[in-house]
A = this chain, B = another copy of it.
């Protein structure tokens, strides 16, 4: 597939095995005649990713190894709104430190950390706004690194819906292009195009909750009227489910018309309600998507549950190692 010769591949694989990224499997899988091949697999003892998440009512951290297996998982339920950013991130840092130490006791090396937050994140990792946490301009990486056990780690920060979309990308059966919609208190979306998360120029993509569905409709806390969030957010969801489905369908039809996205994944609070929402969404999609006669849009519930964002965060770290293993070996 790569066009490289067996000799070259062997040399490269030797480096990866020596660097602990790949292990040789014994006994190897077989086919027909001939000398049996040596099996190779991603190492479960090499570099690992530390995924962290802060949300309105919980803190979470996990360590995922190169194979994608969750090796450590810590969750702490507590309302974060009264704490303020500093106290919350200090608690999360301690939780993450526990996860890291437990993982390293198992022989893993944590290569880096990523943090999922329900808000807008600037390019340098600072959180511009997190409305539901009441945060503004929080330098999250610095506050996390204040915990001594994390001081040496590279830490990235991203929106929770974006990272949940990445988590879904990993477990999904290989749809390289889809929209992940996360129904929480607000509604966020993560857009994966050709296998890569599209973050937008300033990292502020995916704010589907504030797409207008009824221009003169209900007032939204953002100041506008008729935002999707007012019709399909967690509060509205408890009331009129058919309205929630129709409004979701209208907003999603806009996405499909604009981006020709063939798959939509419903996560967060939408996942358990998928059966009830599906028909209403589909109806609006088939009515309003210009190409609905040419090809269907696939609707499906998220495969990962509440851990999606945290797992996606950890995944960004190990994906970086997998995308450029030589950089890891040179470290």
Chain B residues with CB under 8 Å of A200's CB are 259-261
Map CB proximity to B onto A128-165 as digits: 1 under 8 Å, 0 otherwise: 11000000000000000000000000000000000000
Q: Is A214 an interface residue (CB 8 A)?
A: yes
Q: Is A35 an interface residue (CB 8 A)?
A: no
Q: Is A191 an interface residue (CB 8 A)?
A: yes
Assuming the contacts A210-B288, A212-B288, asked whether A203 and B260 have C-beta atoms less than 8 A apart, the reply is yes
The tally of residues in A whose CB lies under 8 Å from a CB in B reads 47
Chain B residues with CB under 8 Å of A191's CB are 258-259
Q: B213 near A215 (CB under 8 angstroms)?
A: yes
In the assembled complex, the Cα of A222 lies from the Cα of B202 at a distance in Å of: 35
Q: A189 near B287 (CB under 8 angstroms)?
A: no
Chain B residues with CB under 8 Å of A259's CB are 191, 198, 200, 205
Among A213, A262, A290, A294, residue most surrounded by chain B Cβ atoms (within 10 Å)? A290
Q: B291 near A202 (CB under 8 angstroms)?
A: yes
Assuming the contacts A198-B193, A215-B213, asked whether A224 and B288 have C-beta atoms less than 8 A apart, the reply is yes
Q: Is A223 an interface residue (CB 8 A)?
A: yes
**Least Cβ distance of A221 to chain B in Å?**
11
The quantity of this chain's copies bound in the complex is 2
Q: A287 near B223 (CB under 8 angstroms)?
A: yes
> In A204-225, which residues have CB < 8 Å from any B CB?
204-215, 222-224
**Least Cβ distance of A144 to chain B in Å?**
23
Q: B291 near A204 (CB under 8 angstroms)?
A: yes
Q: B207 near A120 (CB under 8 angstroms)?
A: no
Chain B residues with CB under 8 Å of A287's CB are 223-224
In the assembled complex, the Cα of A205 lies from the Cα of B259 at a distance in Å of: 4
**Least Cβ distance of A20 to chain B in Å?**
29
In the assembled complex, the Cα of A105 lies from the Cα of B209 at a distance in Å of: 57
Assuming the contacts A201-B260, A208-B258, A260-B201, asked whether A120 and B222 have C-beta atoms less than 8 A apart, the reply is no
Q: Is A177 an interface residue (CB 8 A)?
A: yes
Chain B residues with CB under 8 Å of A189's CB are 258
Q: B290 near A222 (CB under 8 angstroms)?
A: yes
- Point out residues on A near B: beta carbons under 8 Å: 120, 128-129, 177, 189, 191, 193, 198-215, 222-224, 227, 250-251, 253-255, 257-262, 287-291, 294-295
Of B206, B253, B288, B291, which one neighbours A258 at CB under 8 angstroms? B206
Q: B250 near A215 (CB under 8 angstroms)?
A: yes
**Least Cβ distance of A192 to chain B in Å?**
11
* Top 8 A-B pairs, shortest CB-CB distance: A200-B260, A204-B260, A205-B260, A207-B257, A210-B290, A211-B254, A224-B288, A207-B290
Chain B residues with CB under 8 Å of A262's CB are 201-202
18 contacts between A and B (CB under 8 A): A128-B294, A191-B258, A193-B193, A201-B262, A202-B260, A202-B262, A203-B260, A208-B258, A210-B289, A211-B253, A211-B254, A212-B213, A212-B250, A213-B215, A215-B250, A223-B287, A227-B288, A255-B258
**Least Cβ distance of A172 to chain B in Å?**
15
In the assembled complex, the Cα of A214 lies from the Cα of B225 at a distance in Å of: 13
In the assembled complex, the Cα of A104 lies from the Cα of B163 at a distance in Å of: 53
Closest residue of chain B to A179 (Cβ to Cβ) is B258
